[in-house]
Amino acid sequence: MNENATRPIGVFDSGVGGLTVANAIRQVLPNERLIYFGDTAHLPYGDKSKETIMGYSARITRFLLDQQCKVIVIACNTASANAYETIVSESVDRALVVDVINPVVEFVTAGSKYKRIGVIGTKGTINSGTYVGKIIARNPHISVESLATPMLVPMIEEGFIFDDISNAIIRTYLSKPELSQIQALILGCTHYPIIKNQINKFFNFEVDVIDSSRIVANHLRNILVTHNLLNQNPDPGHKFYVSDFTDYFQAISKLFFEENIALEKINLWN
C-alpha cells in the first residue's frame, strides 16, 4: 500500500451541505478518515463575488493541506464553479482535487438518456454557466436550462424544511417555465439533497432528481484506486471543523451525516 494512502481526505463547504458528500464518502469508502470544514462564518457563498469565493477556498485548502490531506474534495458547487483552478494551484504536488460538478456532468452526459436537463443552484453557481457549458461541451444535443434558487440555502440552514414555508418556496421556484418538460434535474448545491423528497413530490416522481453525493463518492473511489491511495486500514477518526457555531448546525448535521458529530470551531482568518 502506498505510504500516503493513510492520509485523510479533506472535504469543505460553506456550511452543512457538504456533509451529504462526506456521508456518501463514508459509506463508499469506510476505511478513509475525513476532515471536514464548514465555513459557516461566511455562508452562503452563492451571493459572494468570484474573487471572494476564491479567497475563502484558497485559505481553507491551505488548512486542509496542513492536515496532510491526500485529496481535497470541494463539496460546494459554488466553490467548484468559481475556485476550482485556485484550489488545484494551491494543492499542486501535495494533494489531488475532486469537485462536485465534473463527476455529475460525466454522469448525465453518458449515453443518450436525457434530452432536456434542468439545473438549480445558487446565483454564484448558475451565473458561472459551468454546468451548461460543460454539459453542452460533452453532448451538444442535450438542452440545458438553469435556474438560480438563492433562497433554498438560507432556508435549509435556518431549519425551514418539511413545512409549509419550504414547500411554498420550492413550488415557486420549480414552477418556473425554465424547468418545464425536463427529464432530469441536477441539484447544483450540496445543501439541496435534504429537500430532495419534496422536490421529487413536486414532479410527481416523474423527473430524475440528481444529487452529487453518491456520484462524487464513487468518482473519488476510482481516483484513489487509480493513484494507489485507497486506505486498507480502517480509520474512523473523522474531524469536523466550522468557522462559526450556528444554533442549527448540530441538529441539521445529524440529518445530513446520520449521526451526532463533534464540532470544533476554528477561525482561519485571524
Answer whether 1's CB lies under 8 Å from 201's CB: no
From the list 24, 189, 195, 263, the catalytic residue is 189
CA 216 to chain centre: 9
Catalytic (active site) residue 69: no
The residues that bridge with 12 in the sheet, in sequence order, are 37, 74
Amino acid symbol at 113: K
Helix, coil or strand: residue 43: coil
Catalytic (active site) residue 76: yes
CA angle at 72 for the pair 71 and 76, rounded to the nearest 5°: 145
The cell for 77 is 458547487
**Other C-beta atoms within 10 Å of 41: how many?**
17
Least Cα distance to 79 among 184, 199, 212, 196 occurs for 212
For 60, phi then psi, to 5°, come to -65, -40
**Other C-beta atoms within 10 Å of 164: how many?**
8
Helix, coil or strand: residue 154: helix
From the list 25, 73, 75, 76, the catalytic residue is 76
Task: Name the DSSP class of 136.
Answer: H
Least Cα distance to 144 among 173, 183, 102, 189 occurs for 183
Give me the active site residues, please.
76, 189
